[in-house]
Amino acid sequence: MVDLYTEYERAVRQFDAGDPIGAANALAPIVTAEPDNKSVRLLLARAYYHSAQLRRAEEQLRWLIDRDPADHYAHFVLGRTLERLGKPGQALPHLRLAAAMRPLDDYTDALRRVEARTSGGTGGRR
- pTM as predicted: 0.90
Q: Give domain 1-57's CATH architecture.
A: Alpha Horseshoe (1.25)
- Residue ranges covered by each domain of the chain: 1-57, 69-126
Nearest Cα to Cα of residue 49 among 89, 8, 20, 28 = 20
What lies within 8 Å, CB to CB, of 122 at 6+ separation is none
The amino acid that residue 66 corresponds to is D
User: pLDDT of 59-96, one tens digit each?
Assistant: 999 999 999 999 999 999 999 999 999 999 999 999 99
CA torsion sign for 83, 41, 100, 109 is negative
User: pLDDT of 10-61, one tens digit each?
Assistant: 999 999 999 999 999 999 999 999 999 999 999 999 999 999 999 999 999 9
